[in-house]
Amino acid sequence: MKVLFIGDIVGGSGRNAVAAILPELAREQSWDLCIANAENSAGGKGITAAIAEELLATGIDVMTMGNHTWDNKEIFKFIDDAHYLVRPANYPINVPGQGYTVVEIKGKRVAVINLSGQVFMGSMDCPFAKADELLLSLSDCDYIIIDFHGEATAEKVGFARYVDGRAAAVIGTHTHIQTADEGLLPQGTLYITDVGATGAINSVLGMEVGPVIKRLTTKLPQRFVAAKGPAMMCAVLMDLSAKKILRIALTAE
């Protein structure tokens, strides 16, 4: 079971990078399921129905979200019908959407769970307790993949160790900077602290540089805009059966 997981797609540059790079990558590699974090796909903030359709058309099967889930209000119109779209499972109960989805591929059931960290992430329900609950209720699945959307590396590594052996893979998202620690944990879970982002290279985490520096230096509110120009796609390609993980960072031509 091969799974490609693409890191936070930021704005049009990120979406174009996916559309340009996926066909190239497919010439050398193959996968059965493509997951992407899409919390920044609409101009850096949230997602729209049209953008979700655009991403599905590039070959992405499942989209995960994060702290930017609700930034574009259009999501409330379609999230409850979007079986492919997963927002953090540890929001309070009765929030729209779903915290996981199960897809059937080659006769196997693959669950994709989205969880948010708590450290520097605002107040969320405990991701450890929520993971215990979901891993139990999804124990009939052949593979469980968790997108752990978090800021603090210690929390991400600690979470991965907590579910080691119970999930097929824990893929970190949110920091937009790819870490070089991909590997197999002792009990058999594939892991990377952060898969990285997919967006403009000349940017701060995919956003235009100027307003970010202005906010950092003046502390005044600024309007952040997704940066344009040459982009890169950060991802990992996993073989869940062989327990292998390959880190990918490709630049669009």
Name the helix (H) or strand (E) containing 137. helix 127-137
Nearest to 234 by CA among 193, 199, 191: 199
Dihedrals phi, psi of 159, to nearest 5 degrees: -65, -45
> How far is residue 117's CA from residue 125's CA, in Å, rounded to a whole number?
9
The verdict on 156 binding Fe ion (CB under 5 A) reads no
User: Binding of Fe ion at residue 66 (CB under 5 A)?
Assistant: yes
- Which of 52, 174, 192, 193 touches Fe ion (CB under 5 A)? 174
Contact segment (CB under 5 A) with Fe ion among 58-66, 101-109, 119-127, 226-234 equals: 58-66
Counting runs of H as helices and runs of E as strands, what totals does the chain give?
6, 13
Burial bucket for residue 50 (CB in 10 Å: 0-12, 13-18, 19+): exposed
Size of the site for Fe ion (CB under 5 A): 5
Beta carbon nearer to Fe ion, 11 or 21: 11
Q: In this complex, which beta carbon is closest to Fe ion, that of residue 70 or of residue 143?
A: 70
- Annotated active-site residue in 68, 149, 174, 176: 68
Residues of span 4-33 touching Fe ion by CB under 5 A: 8
Find the part of the chain contacting Fe ion (CB under 5 A) among 28-36, 131-139, 168-176, 234-242: 168-176
Note the Cα 85 to chain centre separation in Å. 11
Is 68 a residue of the active site? yes
Enumerate binding residues for Fe ion (CB under 5 A).
8, 40, 66-67, 174
Residues marked active site are found at 68
